[in-house]
């Protein structure tokens, strides 16, 4: 049996923002992995195993999910918002590239979710209809000097800026 990993975006919070595709991916999984508070937001299905982890354990979480999928299980790795925006998609791809060959043979799917920046823009009546950028203020994975340089460049370019991770604990 060939395993499968779906990296699933749960949206910005309320269950109303969960897409039907994300809901189906979570419901169809044998095992769910994720940061504890995000995993708590995933709908519960009897018989699913749940594997919560700390927010700073992205690479180990991705590896554990990949290992379970490599064992033939249907796995969902959940994250907030969209998995490709400051979430787990990049980490999963990096682990696949540097991990065992069996991970590269897995069926891996990225299931998009609604981002916080799009939800907030819609709610406040300020759609991101022209050029904009999203920047993370977290210095957990990059030095503050890089973040500062990017902020200055975006501000000088006149972009609307969506800021993520305003409180960093590095």
pLDDT tens per residue, range 31-88: 999 999 999 999 888 999 999 998 889 999 999 999 999 999 999 999 999 999 999 9
Verdict on whether the full-model pTM lies above 0.75: yes
pLDDT at 116 over 80: yes
Query: What total number of domains does the chain contain?
Result: 2
More confident residue, 44 or 99: 99
Residue 104 tokens, joined? 């590269």
Domain membership of residue 26 as a residue range: 4-116
Between CA 42 and CA 24, with CA 8 as vertex, the angle to 5 degrees is 65
Q: What's residue 129's pLDDT?
A: 83
Q: Taking Cα atoms as reference points, which of 81, 105, 73 lies closest to residue 65?
A: 73
Shared domain for 112 and 133, answered yes or no, is no
Shared domain for 33 and 90, answered yes or no, is yes
Q: Taking Cα atoms as reference points, which of 83, 82, 105, 81 lies closest to residue 92?
A: 83
The alpha-carbon radius of gyration of the chain (Å, integer) is: 17
94 assigned to some structural domain: yes
pLDDT tens per residue, range 17-34: 999 999 999 999 999 999
105 assigned to some structural domain: yes
Q: What's residue 167's pLDDT?
A: 79
DSSP, res 107: E
pLDDT at 11 over 60: yes
35 assigned to some structural domain: yes
49 assigned to some structural domain: yes
The kind and range of the H/E element at 59 are helix 58-70
Shared domain for 50 and 107, answered yes or no, is yes
């Amino acid at each position: 049996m060939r395993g499968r990993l779906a990296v699933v975006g749960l949206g910005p919070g309320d269950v109303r923002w969960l897409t039907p595709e994300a809901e189906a991916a979570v419901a169809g999984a044998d095992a769910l992995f994720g940061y504890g508070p995000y995993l708590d937001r995933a709908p519960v299905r009897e018989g699913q195993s749940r594997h919560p982890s700390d927010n700073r354990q992205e690479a180990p979480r991705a590896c554990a999910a990949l290992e379970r999928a490599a064992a033939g299980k249907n796995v969902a790795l959940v994250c907030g918002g969209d998995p490709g925006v400051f979430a787990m998609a990049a980490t999963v791809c990096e682990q696949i590239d540097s991990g065992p060959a069996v991970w590269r043979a897995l069926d891996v799917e990225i299931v998009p979710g609604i981002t916080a920046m799009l939800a907030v823009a819609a709610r406040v009546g300020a759609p991101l209809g022209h050029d904009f950028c999203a920047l993370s203020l977290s210095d957990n994975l990059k030095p503050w000097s890089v973040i500062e340089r990017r902020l200055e460049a975006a501000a000088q370019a006149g972009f609307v800026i969506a800021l993520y991770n305003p409180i960093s604990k590095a």
